[in-house]
Amino acid sequence: MTATTGPQDVVSAARVARQVLSDALSPGEVCGSQEEWAQALGELQAVMDTATAAQDAAIVRLAAIEPEVLDDGEVIETHRALGHVALDAPAMVSWTLNVSAVQAERRVRAAVRMAADGPEGTPTETGLRGLHTAMGAGRLDAYRASVVATELEEAPAEVAASVVAGLHEYFGSEDGPRLRRRVRRMLARISPDLVRQRAVRARSECRLERWVGEPGVDTWHGTFPSEEAAQAWAAIDALAQQYVTDGVCDRVDRARAKALTDLVAGNATIDVQIVHTIAAEVPTAAGSARGTRASEGASDDLVDVGAPASEAGASKAAPGDLVEVTGLRPGEPTLVSRAWLDHASAPHPTSDTSAGRAAPRPRGEPRGGLAPCDPLTDALLDPDGALTTDTYRPGKALAALVRARDGHCRFPGCHVAARFCDLDHVTPWPTGPTSAANLVCLCRRHHRIKQRPGWQAVLHPDATLTWTDPTGRNRTTHPVDHLHRAVLPDRGSDPAPITYNPRLVTPDAPHSTLEYHLEHNPGPPPARPRIRCRIDHHHPTAARAHLAYTSAHPPRRRALPPPDDPPF
């Protein structure tokens, strides 16, 4: 993309390329050789790499546009130097590419570092222009470019440029992990102090994070100093091996997960409060009541969040049911077992009252036993406006209600948890009241973006929030569904085993039959077979095959010599 290339030229070229390549999507008659189709695959990858480089150049130009308001109120677009990033540039990229706010932030930053590398000696120099050039030539894909750029995050521009120049001959032949190792070796030779500073900083910034995984589970990611991790892993593995021996878990990887949570929970006091939600009678503009869904499975809704079930609902409930709840994870619903939910809902054994002591509430959930919800959007409500205040800052109860209602930042594509967000007046105070009908959760960045020219937000009575960007496009975000919960009943049968194609080997699947035999049976067996098999517990098919083989061919045991005999 040259300096004289305009956006319409890029649009026209992209449409022509899409039209030409659309023929490759149509299934046709089998023809051509392996060599020809491999060549076609490589050329298509080169096209994708070039298109990604062109997309980065477009992102750089989009990010350099800064809106300004003139004295007469007119909004104009000012083009800054390449490398400038407008505050709302990631939001525009997020909306255009339909990616999350975090991914858009990373994409803009990576594009600016590689495609907007300034002249030598200027503040915008990054030394990564060679990566963008290699991508434009179809020799480097976005993933491998990001690997190299991440490794050179803290390197001075001249060091980064030297490393990229030294990698040029390997772009067409080496994968991401090899390039990463090569970058680290080059940095260790050029600037060992830089590598040491990076290691020291990484050790000081160790942390533990979690996010949504598969239904009903969380994914944890932690970084720890190596010596501390070794000690902790030894404790976890020892307890996990005991769990496998005792039959608590049938796999050591599952046993390690349970050992970790048991070791942590065994050294802490944890209390949970159960809050039940009900459909509220909300008056409409005409003055009538809007609560048509209040009776649709109301008892089931209460059962879903741990309320005492009706006789009909109780007959269907089973301890193994998986019930959807909110509050255990910031901003996201999760699945828990009904047995755990019933235990958490039970009265505290040391309570002095007949009803039992209410357990402490999860972070962000409203206090009290029942919380009214909108019958159409299932959002938490303050129907009578009892929490509304005349002051600028909301009270604790109103803040807890709004955070629990929204769950996370209400900007499209943003998933920052509500506890880390600002409570923003959609209509600025004092024109707009400090009430649940005028407050939303926004992270600090999107709070500032909302105040920029061209951005508008409208909070509707049902707690949905409609956004309009400077180009006139609309997006609507929704509150957390606190009323209608998913219940996955326990049918009393084990889940069907996952079947894998034995001809394929994927990162999450077992070894193929061919790979297993090549790894575990190299060459003809010796005269006296000795079973030397490494079992990977992440691959249950390989483990089952090994157990079947050892059952059919038990190893021969040699009698031990008497204690006073020499060992040889």
Beta strands in 204-314 (DSSP E): 207-212, 218-223, 276-279, 282-283, 289-290
Segment 422-474, tens digit of pLDDT: 999 999 888 889 988 899 999 999 999 998 888 999 998 888 899 998 888 89
CB 364 within 8 A of CB 343: no
Segment 486-518, tens digit of pLDDT: 777 777 665 555 554 544 444 444 445 555 455
Q: How is residue 306 written in tokens? A: 């741990």
Distance between CA atoms of residues 107 and 301, nearest Å: 41
Strand pairing report for 75-79 and 65-69 = antiparallel
In this predicted structure, what is the pLDDT of residue 11?
84
Place of tokens 């772009």: 171
Q: Is the pLDDT reported for residue 82 higher than 60?
A: yes
In this predicted structure, what is the pLDDT of residue 481?
77
Segment 59-81, tens digit of pLDDT: 999 999 988 888 887 888 888 88
Beta strands in 213-303 (DSSP E): 218-223, 276-279, 282-283, 289-290
Beta strands in 368-491 (DSSP E): 370-373, 422-425, 439-442, 456-459, 465-468, 474-477, 487-488
Which amino acid makes up residue 219?
T
Q: Is the pLDDT reported for residue 7 higher than 60?
A: yes
Place of tokens 């919800």: 373
Q: What is the DSSP letter of 224?
A: -
Is residue 376 classed as helix, strand or coil in its secondary structure?
Answer: coil
CA torsion sign for 444, 448, 449, 451 is: positive
CA-based nearest residue to 539, from 500, 493, 486: 500
Place of tokens 């629990």: 404
Segment 96-125, tens digit of pLDDT: 998 888 899 999 999 999 999 888 878 888
In this predicted structure, what is the pLDDT of residue 27?
63
Is residue 25 classed as helix, strand or coil in its secondary structure?
Answer: helix
Place of tokens 């932030």: 105
Q: Is the pLDDT reported for residue 244 higher than 70?
A: yes
pLDDT, the chain, mean = 75
What is the value of pTM for the model shown?
Answer: 0.64
334-357 burial: b if 16+ Cβ within 10 Å, else e:
bbbbbeebbebbeeeeeeeeeeee
Helix (H) or strand (E) holding 68: strand 65-69
Give the contacts of 363 (CB within 8 A, at least 6 positions apart): 327, 330, 419
pLDDT band at 55 (very low <50, low <70, confident <90, very high): very high
Give the contacts of 462 (CB within 8 A, at least 6 positions apart): 374, 376, 377, 379
Is residue 328 classed as helix, strand or coil in its secondary structure?
Answer: strand
Give the contacts of 14 (CB within 8 A, at least 6 positions apart): 51
Distance between CA atoms of residues 104 and 101, nearest Å: 5
Q: How is residue 431 written in tokens? A: 């024109």
* Percent of the chain clearing pLDDT 90 (strictly above): 20
According to DSSP H, which parts of 295-429 are helical? 298-304, 311-316, 338-345, 396-406
Helix (H) or strand (E) holding 71: none
Distance between CA atoms of residues 57 and 116, nearest Å: 8
How far is residue 17 CA from its own chain's centroid? 33
Segment 138-184, tens digit of pLDDT: 999 999 999 999 999 888 899 999 999 999 999 988 899 889 989 98
Segment 295-313, tens digit of pLDDT: 333 333 333 343 333 333 4
According to DSSP H, which parts of 441-501 are helical? 444-450
* Percent of the chain clearing pLDDT 70 (strictly above): 68
CA-based nearest residue to 465, from 521, 421, 504: 421
Give the contacts of 160 (CB within 8 A, at least 6 positions apart): 126, 127, 128, 152
CB 537 within 8 A of CB 251: yes
Which amino acid makes up residue 101?
A
Task: Indicate left, alpha or beta for 157 from its phi (over 0: left) and psi (-120 to 50: alpha).
Answer: alpha
Greatest Cα pair distance in the chain: 105
